[in-house]
A and B are shown apart, each in its own frame.
Chain A
Amino acid sequence: MNIIFLTIIISLIIGVFFLFLFLHLVKTGQYDDVYSPSVRMLFDDELVKEKTENINDNKTINN
């Protein structure tokens, strides 16, 4: 049963690792603005779609 020492210590180490990761993310400002990224994510798609459409338009003009 001594394995329990090891598992508990490992689980704590993992926990501490994520705690510090979280603190680090807060510190670097990743949680300062939780709204804009949600919108930004949608725009990336829009942009790609728009580009391809415009390329098609140009082609028809050239022809």
Chain B
Amino acid sequence: MPKKTCYHCGADCNSGTVMFDDKPFCCNGCKTVYEILNQNELTCYYDLDQAPGSIPDEIKGKYDYLDNEDISSKLIEFNDGSTSVVNFYIPNIHCSSCIWVLENLDRLNKGIRATLVNFPKKEIRITFKNDETSLKDIVELMTSIGYEPFISLEDSEGKKAKIDRKLIYQVALAGFSFGNIMMLSFPEYFEVEGFWLDQFKPFFRFLMFGLAIPVVVYSARDYLISAYKGLKHGILNIDVPISLGILVLFFRSTYEIISQTGSGYFDSLTGLIFFLLLGKMFQQRTYNFLSFERDYKSYFPIAITKINKDNSHISIPVHEIEKGDRLLIRNEEIIPVDGIMINGNALLDYSFVTGESMPVIKKSGDKIFAGGKQTDGAIEMEVLQSVAQSYLTQLWSNDIFSKSDTKNIKNITDSISKYFTIIILFIALSAGIYWFFIDKTIAFQVVSAVLIIACPCALALSAPFAFGNILRIFGKNKFYLKNTDVIESISKINTLVFDKTGTITTNKSSNISYKGEPLNTSEIESLKSVLRSSNHPLSRMLYEYLPNSELKEITNYKEILGKGIQGRVNNIDIQLGSASYVGFDTQKLLNTIIYIKINNKIKGKYIFNNEYRKGLKSSFQLFSKNYDLAILSGDNAGEKDNLEHILPVNSQLLFNQKPEDKLRYIKSLQDQNKNVMMLGDGLNDAGALAQSNVGIAISENINVFSPACDGILDAKEFENLPNFINLSKKTMNIIKISFGISFLYNIIGMYFAVTGSLSPIIAAILMPFSSISVVVFVTISTNFISKKILH
């Protein structure tokens, strides 16, 4: 029988298939969505793509806080009393039919006037009438059709970074002037003699001068400012020789035009600036849909339900939670503060914090920490700490998070430019002195020509284009870097530190093994029958693990929360659960274990081991040749033996590490002058990621969440990590070769300059040619080596 898949979301229809309109649906939610869409004549949603929706979550009451005006006003961008505009981030946007459904929201809710989707950013902008609908209605509607907006604490703090389009303006202006000046200088290039041309010469030159002024003043200002700042701090960065070249070009050309001695180099000047800016633009490629700056704020909820003394519920912003408050945490909600469980069944998923996928059970009276996601109905809790003082969020008060982003690393271009600038100045000076004694009139020309031709355009372009291209190649292979500087940092690392859970282990499947007296077939069948009734994640995993068999009827089924389950099948009593539940001596528990007791006799136990990522061992073997390795785990030492088998000797293994411990460990490595790359996945690694030279977050689903970092690596590409590091190193070699080539061009140019024969046409040919050839070289060679390494 072919497997039925849901007509709406594409999930397998196992039990409880809902048939509607002759089509199968996996759940009532999907059927409802189909109904809504059908009623509103949006059935074409299904023609566009096969099974495009995804399953909606339980949403009842979840968005009540949006009725609180304090909170909603923080989310709404614009409100004139009758019309409001709001912007939402919707992680679920993934295909073209998403755009279509979302842009037809106005047909599902009459109060919505217009919706506009920004697909690359996964954002939607909604304009609605205040008196016809409310923010809550809109959010609930979107959630019910499978597009749940992501609303976090961060949104309430407003102040979205304004898009900086300055670079585009600068490039546009430089490109415009460059083209026009080129055209105007053509007659002079060919030295066409004749009365009529001489007549226009001053006019042409004046126009070129006029076109060049805005380029120098506006487009090139960042180079001039950066050079000025560098000089002020005594640093000769690459912008110093560039600015020197730009200024000399401009003033010499101006002088030539005013004194009517020549046509100037305005074409080279604007071309130089145009190419430099293009390189900058290429380097600034960013991933719109990813965020590298996330902290707990973008993960925590914006508001929470508080239970008043008279048992009424109100929504309050998370910041206003005080010690002693009683909170209601609904299913799928995140606990924002540390507290004590009062009642309910807490089954907390801390995977965003620790990477551990197995939910933790808490009983009333237990202490619960912020960051867990409740997965089993509603619970009540009493607050012990406010948000800022909770165990997890305290990490962010560490200095490392308040430091500005620039880690003050000198990049390769800047470190070379120091020597470059000194040599150039030396050559200019000696050529000037030499010509001063030969021919005083030429001396000034030669000095300025040296400074012009030495302008390191090709040099300044090679790194941006090489890095920009590698960034793009990494992105194609699902390794997303924050910016191009990270590539250089990667090439310098010599120590690798891994988090354990979620980073080198997958949180998808666990490796289950059985220890004890062997079970016979009928016992396994009975076991499976009992497990079927339990919803606990461990039960479900064990249920999937056991071989398929006929399920029998059970009697006396009982589930004791946080302990285990029992039942009677075919006159066999079965109990399974924790050690204390089956009456076993509680040893120090290192692994997750389910004990089996049949007819009051302990038969054995199922041990849940961590499943390590594919290719982990081979990657570690490769790394051990060149790098120091360490593993930091927040867990107990249960996996120590397993890890020691996988890890090369000499690697460090540290267990029971708190978030602050991880940070401190990285710092201590750096104090030994080591360049550390940290790989982690959860919020508890955030400190270590920020402290390390390169912090990489491993993510099963890049759209969901990852802590602040320098790069995000898709977990499926973990095997490729040695290749990525290797490629970064090779890229540095390519850049060094390209530096050699651009020096060669400088030497050729220098010959013309020193001999005093640098005509505008030679400058106009040599400068763009050197830049373009270097760009072509780095692009082709980076493509070539990345194909070879990443195949």
A and B interact = yes
Residues of B within 8 A of A39 (CB): 96, 99-100, 119
B118 contacts A19, C-beta separation under 8 Å: no
Is A23 an interface residue, CB under 8 A from the partner? yes
A12 contacts B172, C-beta separation under 8 Å: no
Residue of B nearest to A4 (CB): B200
Is B622 an interface residue, CB under 8 A from the partner? no
Given contacts A8-B207, A43-B99, A43-B100, contact A36 B169 (CB under 8 A): no
B172 contacts A33, C-beta separation under 8 Å: no
- The residues in B between 100 and 124 inclusive whose CB is less than 8 angstroms from any CB of A are 100, 103-104, 117-121
**How far is B121's CA from A23's CA once the two chains are assembled, in angstroms?**
22
Residues of A within 8 A of B100 (CB): 39, 43, 46
- The residues in A between 34 and 63 inclusive whose CB is less than 8 angstroms from any CB of B are 35-36, 39-40, 42-43, 46-47, 50-51, 54
Residues of B within 8 A of A35 (CB): 119-120
Distance between B59 CB and nearest chain A CB, rounded to angstroms: 26
Distance between B349 CB and nearest chain A CB, rounded to angstroms: 34
B44 contacts A50, C-beta separation under 8 Å: yes
- The residues in A between 3 and 33 inclusive whose CB is less than 8 angstroms from any CB of B are 4-5, 8, 12, 15-16, 19, 22-23, 26-27, 29, 31-33
Total interface residues on B, CB under 8 Å, equals 28
- Which of A1, A4, A46 sits near B48, CB closer than 8 Å? A46
- The residues in B between 3 and 54 inclusive whose CB is less than 8 angstroms from any CB of A are 41, 43-44, 48
Residues of B within 8 A of A43 (CB): 99-100, 103
Residues of B within 8 A of A15 (CB): 176, 180
Is B163 an interface residue, CB under 8 A from the partner? yes
- Which of B48, B118, B207 sits near A36, CB closer than 8 Å? B118
A36 contacts B176, C-beta separation under 8 Å: no
Residues of B within 8 A of A32 (CB): 118, 163
B118 contacts A33, C-beta separation under 8 Å: yes
**How far is B118's CA from A29's CA once the two chains are assembled, in angstroms?**
11
Residue of B nearest to A37 (CB): B119
Residues of A within 8 A of B213 (CB): none
A5 contacts B203, C-beta separation under 8 Å: yes
Residues of A within 8 A of B199 (CB): 1
Q: B-side binding surface: helix, strand, loop or mixed?
A: helix
Interface centre among A1, A5, A31, A36 (most CB of B within 10 A): A36
**How far is B171's CA from A22's CA once the two chains are assembled, in angstroms?**
12
**How far is B184's CA from A47's CA once the two chains are assembled, in angstroms?**
51
**How far is B103's CA from A43's CA once the two chains are assembled, in angstroms?**
10
Q: How large is the interface on A (under 10, 10 to 19, 20 to 34, 35 or more residues)?
A: 20 to 34
Is B309 an interface residue, CB under 8 A from the partner? no
Residues of B within 8 A of A16 (CB): 176
B41 contacts A40, C-beta separation under 8 Å: no
Distance between B174 CB and nearest chain A CB, rounded to angstroms: 11
A12 contacts B180, C-beta separation under 8 Å: yes
Is B165 an interface residue, CB under 8 A from the partner? yes
Residues of B within 8 A of A22 (CB): 172
**How far is B200's CA from A5's CA once the two chains are assembled, in angstroms?**
8
A40 contacts B180, C-beta separation under 8 Å: no
Residues of A within 8 A of B169 (CB): 23, 26
B99 contacts A33, C-beta separation under 8 Å: no
Residue of B nearest to A58 (CB): B41
Residue of B nearest to A55 (CB): B41
Distance between A48 CB and nearest chain B CB, rounded to angstroms: 11
Residue of B nearest to A5 (CB): B203
**How far is B72's CA from A49's CA once the two chains are assembled, in angstroms?**
38
Residues of A within 8 A of B119 (CB): 33, 35-36, 39
Residue of A nearest to B200 (CB): A4
User: Which A residues are within 8 Å of any B CB, using their own CB?
Assistant: 1, 4-5, 8, 12, 15-16, 19, 22-23, 26-27, 29, 31-33, 35-36, 39-40, 42-43, 46-47, 50-51, 54
User: Which B residues are within 8 Å of any A CB, using their own CB?
Assistant: 41, 43-44, 48, 96, 99-100, 103-104, 117-121, 163, 165, 168-169, 172-173, 176, 180, 184, 196, 199-200, 203, 207
**Would you mind naming 11 contact pairs between A and B with Cβ atoms under 8 Å apart?**
A5-B203, A26-B172, A33-B119, A33-B120, A33-B121, A36-B117, A36-B120, A40-B99, A43-B99, A46-B48, A46-B100
Identify 9 new A-B residue pairs, CB closer than 8 A, beyond the known A12-B207, A16-B176, A46-B100.
A12-B180, A19-B172, A26-B172, A29-B163, A35-B119, A35-B120, A36-B99, A36-B120, A46-B48
